[in-house]
Amino acid sequence: MEISKQQYEYALNRIEELLPLVTDETPANDRNALELTIVSDVVEEYEKLHYPISKPTIGDLICLSIEEKGMTQKQLASEIGVSPSRVSDYISGRSEPNLRIARAICTVLGIAPAAMLGM
């Protein structure tokens, strides 16, 4: 069954009404807890279809990690043994790092190798 935008919006509003009524101590078979579960499922299903979240690109991972580490692209380039323009190419998606460089990026920036491989 396809969930309409109207049903989705109703479910969102109902969640806002139910959240204050349901706590960690509320029994799972409570009417409000059951309804909250059902409307949450409606919202989740609609959002999966209409607002999918894509996996981050290699460039996204590098950019975010550089920022978190307080580094510059130039510093990363120096640490992994490539030119700053090459790091820029990785971030923009113009090129992808080879396995050796990808491993170095993961090590220096603390990125999980599975994330770098898009898993």
- Please write the tens of the pLDDT for every residue from 12-65: 999 999 999 999 999 989 999 999 999 999 999 999 999 988 888 999 999 999
**Helix pair 58-69, 73-80: axis angle to 10 deg:** 100
Nearest one of 112, 90, 85 to 101, comparing CA atoms: 90
Q: What is the C-alpha to C-alpha distance for residues 105 and 82, in angstroms, rounded to an integer?
A: 11
- Amino acid in position 11: A
Report residue 119's pLDDT band, with 50, 70 and 90 as the boundaries: low
Domains and CATH numbers, the chain: 5-50 (no CATH), 58-116 (1.10.260.40)
pLDDT tens string 57-88: 999 999 999 999 999 999 999 999 999 999 99
**Dihedral sign of CA atoms 65, 74, 101, 92 in order:** positive
Assessment of whether the complete model's pTM goes beyond 0.75: no
Contacts of 44 (CB under 8 A, 6+ apart): none
